[in-house]
Structure 1
Amino acid sequence: MLDISSRVRVDVDALIAAQNDMGVCDAIGRNAPVGKSAAMSAPHLPKVAGIDSAVPASAHTAATLAASPALAPTTAPGALIQDRLAGWVSDLTTLHELTERLARTGTRDDALHELLRAGAALVGARRGMVVLEPPEGRGPATTVGLGLAHADLGHIETVPRSATPHGRILDGAPTSVPCPVAQADLFRDESLDPRLREVAVRLGYAASYALPLATAEAGRLGVAVWFYDEPAEPVERQRHLVGLYGRYATEHLARLLELDRARARMAIIAEELLPSRLPRVPGVRLAARHLGGPRGGGEWYDALPLPEGALGLAVGSVSGSGPSALAAMGRLRASLRAYAVMEGEDPVAVLSDLELLLRLTEPARSATALFAYCEPALRKVVLAGAGHTPPLITGERRTEFVETSLSAPLGMLACWEAPSVEFSPGPGETVLLYTDGLLRRTGDPMDRAFARLHTAAASVPKAAREDPSAIVDHVLRTVLPEGLDTGADGDEDDEDVVMLAARFE
């Protein structure tokens, strides 16, 4: 039996245990470039943006173990391997945390900004930009900067495209996946375009590293470029990490672009299902706004002229979201128009017929609706609601909600019925019909949302009360946290918002 010292047995056992536990790191080691063990064992810097990054701040200031020859002969082989394994674990942790943060981004712009920040930490740069140029039909082209103002990006665009590394990458063969381009010293490279060197001096950067955003599956979407303040370039380990991150970012951007295209198509369908223009009826002026949510809800409005100078106004909401809700909304709105023409004088009958149709054709779906029969010459309104929010009357002398009876949504009961309500708007007063998506999008409880809506309608400037469009815009800007700057690129939980205003002369 061999006489093996206890110290040697402990080192060998620790090494075997580490190799058994770190199978994933062995896989990375097989893919890692040969001869870079010193770079992989470089000391780690403090956390960058909350992440314990294993990447040095810059290539020209990072020290490696290979730079200290005195350490090599005295370091045990087991310690070197364990140090290498620790470096791989640190790299995997950093990469995991960065990709997790990128995966949480839900919009294209947020993903591009996160890509720039993470890439800057991985390659040790302070500034950068992303030029996104997806293939035709997959999304618009855009440029986003990190640490660069809009004017700085404009200066970069004055350089001939063929002279820039990102331009050469974007204009390369469309079927190939291009390689990154590093320019370690822009002032010593005599082959560079003079305009590129002039812009670099103006913006204060001396080197750059361009990473293609391209994979075989997603195609070529764009390129990310990071700029160094001094001559430098990322080491092999940094290139490997940012390359892995770039491939993941490309796939994530491809999914977001496809999601944007789907949302845009749904927004177009929703707008086509709503009235293209509002009718002109003597004695009343109309205005409407529809703010679509990212999921494509089923909220709608309608206004149609009726016999003897009457006017029918309707708003409603179909449960669910997506293409099926849009299709149901279109069918419901078309049916209500037909019922309004036949028996519009009786709003209860109109909603009863609509409820029967919904229960027979779509038993798994419910809807809220409000229909108002207006006689502008008499300033008389008769309305009925099915689980819908009450209208709001606003004018110079009053701002109050119309008292309606409590009723269930359509499709919730075996037989829907609720009494109608009659009221008379005064001269110059405006009746606001809206969907509950407006209240829910405020993020407040319902009582506070109603109070916010009431305050917004009461605070309409006197000069704007004669224009229903100005009234609607003022109310939406006041009630919604994001104002009118909302739509398909909003938060995932945002719902459709519909508001219909009728100002009586």
Structure 2
Amino acid sequence: MLDIPLLLRVHVDAVIAAQNDMRIDMGVCDAIEQREAAGKPAAMSAPHLPKVAGIDPTVPAPAHTATPHPGIPTAHPAPGALIQDRLAGWVSDLTTLHELTERLARTSTLDDALHELLRAGAALVGAPRGMAFLEPADGLGPTVTVGLGLAHADLGTLETVPRSATSYGRLLDGLPGGPLPERPARDGPLPEPPAPAPVAVPDLLGDEHLDPRHREVAARLGFAASYAVPLVTESAGRLGAAVWLYDEPAEPPERRRHLVGLYGQYASEHLARLLELERGRANVATITEELLPTRLPRVPGVRLAARHHAGPRGGGHWYDALPLPEGALGLAVGSVTGSGPSALAAMGRLRASLRAYAVMEGEDPVAVLSDLELLLRLTEPARSATALFAYAEPAQRKVVLAGAGHAPPLITGERRAEYVETSLSAPLGMLACWEAPSVDLVVEPGETLLLYTDGLLRRIGGPVDRAFARLHAAAASVPRADRADPGAVADHVLRAVLPGGLPAPAPHGAVPSGAVPSGGDEDEDVVLLAARFD
């Protein structure tokens, strides 16, 4: 009987020691190892019952329901329960981060990524509204601002607050979250500002140190607290900032701050990758536009309009229109194999060569394409290209054209919508000597001649014959009110065959480069040149 209190005292000491160990911030494996190590001495130090016949000392004593003796300490929770609770919390946090980062990784544009960042951050910090700003520190852009739960007018109202008075504005400008460092009494440089860190303002309306305009806007829009985090990477530097707004005075607890910090680091890296891709696409699009005509010529008797969209990889599709002697007009479309900078360079050389040949012998389209094929075969034997060149005389409404592996043009007007019958020919650079007959046609007054590249057919998607049929149906369904404007004709055709339509045309008539939603290959360029004859 005297051994029972001693046995209980020893086990209670072991439990208390294990609990003290759990109060220390340690990993799960370290806690388990210490628990196992601490269990052995406790078991060894416990007294053992003597070996008596008929008594098994390993059988535990029966549980008692009576009230314990006042001298015996009350049993504490088992140390394993505390470890399990902490481990379950860590697993839950990791699962949440995994799900949120997977959703973010599926975004492919900066705008989508910023919206997903706001939604995920709002769930982590428990705020219903927020804003995300993309302003790279290198100044090369692009600059993007998106909101969550805020209307466009609300974003405009927030812009009236002095930038330096807001937490996110200080993060965007690279300033520390606290007050600005004061200049020393003697002349000297300001101390180096600390690295950007999250900024919490738990009570906007009650903070007398805030700018009065900031408090006024907060009261008008109905938010009372904010939490801002920087978007920074080691390689790209400062990219922007995100801020979430609370309806009541509040701030996220330490655990949620840690989670949103980890998520913000991953989001910053993802945004940096998308930013690099976006800049690369923008550079390719700029080069593509510079290699194409900056404006379309004005020739009596014909009106022109062009629509061009470069794919994300920068294909070598092009168009051209140049005035020729005696009031004639040269129209051309084509494409080169490959994509990227090399294809763009080849496209530029091919277009410049065709212009030279068109000036010298434009009235004979077959001769123009023959010279172009010879040049391509001698200078770039590993590359092939398709091209179509038309020599038009607007005064007589006569057109002579020849194609090299190119899709036939389409004529649309009040009375007809049909493809021009052209002979089957090989692309340039495919045969030792290219040759194909030309085609003569007469365009009726008010009819429009549509020249396009095969990229448009691929963007439409499906079998080739079905793509041709859809393009023909789109040209035949042009409203009567739009037939007098070649730009309206081109826009109607593209809206009919490409779901989602097109952005507004540029001032000179060419559509800015960008992705065109479709059911086909979105990497392909889209080129459509429309010539309406009076």
TM-score by length of 1: 0.80
Aligned match for 1:303, one of 308, 318, 321: 321
Q: Per the alignment, in what secondary structure is the counterpart of residue 381 of structure 1?
A: strand
2:299 and 2:163 map into 1 onto residues whose CA distance is: 57
Q: Per the alignment, in what secondary structure is the counterpart of residue 148 of structure 1?
A: coil
Q: Which amino acid letter does the alignment assign opposite residue 483 of structure 2?
A: R
Which residue in 1 is equivalent to 2:137?
A: 135
TM-superposed deviation, 1:431: 0.8
- Higher mean Cα deviation, 358-367 or 293-302? 358-367
**Which residues of structure 2 form unaligned runs of 5+?**
1-10, 12-25, 31-73, 177-192, 504-511
1:230 and 2:248 equivalent?
yes
Which residue in 1 is equivalent to 2:8?
A: none
Which residue in 2 is equivalent to 1:367?
A: 385
Report the structure number with the largest CA radius of gyration: 2
Q: Which amino acid letter does the alignment assign opposite residue 484 of structure 1?
A: L
TM-superposed deviation, 1:218: 2.0
Q: Which amino acid letter does the alignment assign opposite residue 83 of structure 2?
A: I
Aligned match for 2:398, one of 352, 361, 380: 380
1:194 and 1:24 map into 2 onto residues whose CA distance is: 46
2:87 and 2:371 map into 1 onto residues whose CA distance is: 72
1:79 and 2:105 equivalent?
no
Aligned match for 2:477, one of 423, 447, 459: 459
Which residue in 1 is equivalent to 2:122?
A: 120
Which residue in 2 is equivalent to 1:488?
A: 514
Q: Per the alignment, in what secondary structure is the counterpart of residue 332 of structure 1?
A: helix
* Contact 1:208–1:228 (CA under 8 A) maintained in structure 2: yes
1:336 and 2:354 equivalent?
yes
TM-superposed deviation, 1:242: 1.0
TM-superposed deviation, 1:225: 0.7
Aligned match for 1:158, one of 157, 160, 164: 160
1:367–1:113 Cα change, 3 Å: same
Q: Per the alignment, in what secondary structure is the counterpart of residue 395 of structure 2?
A: helix
* Contact 2:157–2:217 (CA under 8 A) maintained in structure 1: yes
Spell out, residue by residue over 1:360-398, the C-alpha distance to the aligned partner (whole angstroms, 9 max, x if none): 322332221111122333322221212211101111111
* Contact 1:294–1:490 (CA under 8 A) maintained in structure 2: no
Output aligned runs, 1:186-205, within 5 Å. Answer: 186-205=204-223
Aligned match for 1:278, one of 293, 296, 300: 296
* Contact 1:177–1:216 (CA under 8 A) maintained in structure 2: no
Q: Per the alignment, in what secondary structure is the counterpart of residue 222 of structure 1?
A: strand
Which residue in 1 is equivalent to 2:342?
A: 324
1:475 and 2:501 equivalent?
no
- Higher mean Cα deviation, 470-479 or 484-493? 484-493
1:429 and 2:447 equivalent?
yes
- Higher mean Cα deviation, 439-448 or 94-103? 439-448
Spell out, residue by residue over 1:432-489, the C-alpha distance to the aligned partner (whole angstroms, 9 max, x if none): 1011222222344433332332232223232332232332233223332222227336
* Contact 1:306–1:341 (CA under 8 A) maintained in structure 2: yes
- Give the share of equivalent positions with the same residue, in percent: 79
Q: Which amino acid letter does the alignment assign opposite residue 513 of structure 2?
A: G
TM-superposed deviation, 1:101: 2.0
Which residue in 2 is equivalent to 1:144?
A: 146
* Contact 2:309–2:515 (CA under 8 A) maintained in structure 1: no
TM-superposed deviation, 1:273: 1.1
Q: Per the alignment, in what secondary structure is the counterpart of residue 355 of structure 2?
A: helix
1:172–1:375 Cα change, 3 Å: closer
* Contact 1:25–1:88 (CA under 8 A) maintained in structure 2: no
TM-superposed deviation, 1:205: 2.4
Q: Per the alignment, in what secondary structure is the counterpart of residue 378 of structure 1?
A: coil
2:219 and 2:297 map into 1 onto residues whose CA distance is: 61
TM-score by length of 2: 0.76
1:147–1:418 Cα change, 3 Å: same
1:26 and 1:401 map into 2 onto residues whose CA distance is: 75
TM-superposed deviation, 1:253: 1.7
1:413 and 2:431 equivalent?
yes
Aligned match for 1:358, one of 363, 376, 384: 376
Q: Per the alignment, in what secondary structure is the counterpart of residue 250 of structure 2?
A: coil
* Contact 2:446–2:533 (CA under 8 A) maintained in structure 1: yes
Which residue in 1 is equivalent to 2:44?
A: none
Q: Which amino acid letter does the alignment assign opposite residue 456 of structure 1?
A: A
1:268–1:208 Cα change, 3 Å: same
TM-superposed deviation, 1:109: 0.7
1:402 and 2:431 equivalent?
no
1:94 and 1:325 map into 2 onto residues whose CA distance is: 44
Aligned CA RMSD, in angstroms, stands at 2.8
TM-superposed deviation, 1:145: 0.6
TM-superposed deviation, 1:247: 1.5
Which residue in 2 is equivalent to 1:167?
A: 169
Which residue in 1 is equivalent to 2:533?
A: 504
Q: Per the alignment, in what secondary structure is the counterpart of residue 441 of structure 1?
A: helix
TM-superposed deviation, 1:490: 5.7
2:119 and 2:437 map into 1 onto residues whose CA distance is: 60
1:449 and 1:156 map into 2 onto residues whose CA distance is: 49
Which residue in 2 is equivalent to 1:67?
A: none
Q: Which amino acid letter does the alignment assign opposite residue 300 of structure 1?
A: W
1:126 and 1:104 map into 2 onto residues whose CA distance is: 23
Aligned match for 1:93, one of 91, 95, 100: 95
1:489–1:377 Cα change, 3 Å: closer
TM-superposed deviation, 1:118: 1.1
1:199–1:310 Cα change, 3 Å: closer
1:218 and 2:244 equivalent?
no
1:177 and 1:367 map into 2 onto residues whose CA distance is: 54
Q: Which amino acid letter does the alignment assign opposite residue 497 of structure 1?
A: V
Q: Which amino acid letter does the alignment assign opposite residue 114 of structure 1?
A: E
Q: Aligned pairs, how many?
A: 441
Output aligned runs, 1:284-299, within 5 Å. Answer: 284-299=302-317
1:345 and 2:368 equivalent?
no
TM-superposed deviation, 1:136: 4.8
1:26–1:454 Cα change, 3 Å: farther
* Contact 2:111–2:144 (CA under 8 A) maintained in structure 1: no
Which residue in 2 is equivalent to 1:47?
A: none
Q: Which amino acid letter does the alignment assign opposite residue 171 of structure 2?
A: I
Spell out, residue by residue over 1:122-168, the C-alpha distance to the aligned partner (whole angstroms, 9 max, x if none): 21222111122222532133321111111222222233323321122
* Contact 1:218–1:250 (CA under 8 A) maintained in structure 2: no
- Higher mean Cα deviation, 166-175 or 196-205? 166-175
Q: Which amino acid letter does the alignment assign opposite residue 412 of structure 2?
A: T
TM-superposed deviation, 1:325: 1.0
* Contact 1:294–1:487 (CA under 8 A) maintained in structure 2: no
* Contact 1:166–1:210 (CA under 8 A) maintained in structure 2: yes
1:269 and 1:412 map into 2 onto residues whose CA distance is: 27
Q: Which amino acid letter does the alignment assign opposite residue 365 of structure 2?
A: P
TM-superposed deviation, 1:226: 0.9
Q: Per the alignment, in what secondary structure is the counterpart of residue 357 of structure 2?
A: helix
1:95 and 1:272 map into 2 onto residues whose CA distance is: 44
